[in-house]
């Protein structure tokens, strides 16, 4: 049984991992439309992964700053689109590290995150490494439900299922 005052302060959030893949927009649209219909919120997570090749300290720092600026620009642009269509003001989280670890950490830290929304790549190479890892390897032990949105759905199809 839950305490009623606790329930009032909690806000169900849909967590979406933002990247530069085309299917990412499908996951964002799905999460925003679902959140709008149920009165929830949306959290957009952008993870800046470490470079594969470690450069000199000054070059690496400049690369991180550029990556952070690009992440902020991308999230701000998405927020404007989301707000126009749904009136939802999404939360932004930008983290450095590896995507899988940052997703798990954020879910553990924020009890209001209730659903993780991922998009599967429509390519024949598989759904993508994050989907494979979280849905395949960890699905039975994951703390919250995971919704996997096919990356090839049209806007009309996404709107129909949300």
Q: Is 44 helix (H, G, I), strand (E, B) or coil?
A: strand
pLDDT band at 139 (very low <50, low <70, confident <90, very high): low
pLDDT digits (tens, 9 = 90+) for 9-37: 457 999 999 998 889 999 999 999 999 99
pLDDT digits (tens, 9 = 90+) for 50-60: 876 665 666 77
Whether 71 is in a domain gets the answer yes
Whether 3 is in a domain gets the answer no
The residue segments making up the domain with residue 123 are: 12-161
Q: Is the pLDDT of residue 4 over 80?
A: no
What the block records as the tokens of 1 is: 């049984």
Of 6 and 51, the structure prediction assigns the larger pLDDT to 51
Whether 2 is in a domain gets the answer no
Structure pTM?
A: 0.85
Mean pLDDT of the chain: 86
Whether 48 is in a domain gets the answer yes
Q: What is the pLDDT of residue 55?
A: 59
Distance in angstroms (rounded) separating the CA atoms of residues 31 and 10:
18
Q: Are strands 113-120 and 13-18 parallel, antiparallel or unpaired?
A: parallel
Scan for tokens 């003001």, then name that residue.
89
Closest CA to 158 of 17, 38, 31, 13: 31
Whether 1 is in a domain gets the answer no
Number of domains making up the chain: 1
Whether 84 is in a domain gets the answer yes
Average pLDDT over residues 85-93: 94
The CA-to-CA distance between both ends of the chain, in Å, stands at: 29
Whether 6 is in a domain gets the answer no
Whether 108 is in a domain gets the answer yes
CATH number at residue 81: 3.40.50.620
Q: What is the pLDDT of residue 147?
A: 93
The H-or-E segment that residue 61 falls in is helix 57-86
């Amino acid at each position: 049984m839950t305490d009623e005052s606790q329930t009032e302060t909690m806000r169900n959030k849909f967590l979406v991992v933002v990247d530069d893949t085309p299917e990412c927009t499908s996951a964002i649209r799905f999460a925003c439309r679902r959140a709008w219909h149920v009165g929830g919120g949306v959290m957009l997570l952008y993870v800046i992964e470490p470079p594969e090749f470690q450069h000199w300290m000054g070059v690496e720092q400049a690369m991180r700053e550029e990556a952070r600026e690009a992440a902020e620009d991308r999230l701000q642009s998405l927020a404007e689109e989301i707000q126009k269509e749904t009136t939802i003001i999404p939360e932004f989280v930008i983290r450095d590290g590896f995507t899988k670890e940052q997703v798990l950490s954020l879910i553990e830290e924020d009890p209001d995150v209730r659903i993780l929304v991922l998009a599967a790549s429509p390519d024949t190479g598989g759904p993508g490494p994050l989907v494979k890892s979280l849905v395949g390897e960890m699905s039975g032990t994951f703390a919250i439900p995971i919704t996997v949105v096919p990356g090839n759905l049209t806007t009309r199809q996404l709107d129909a299922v949300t």
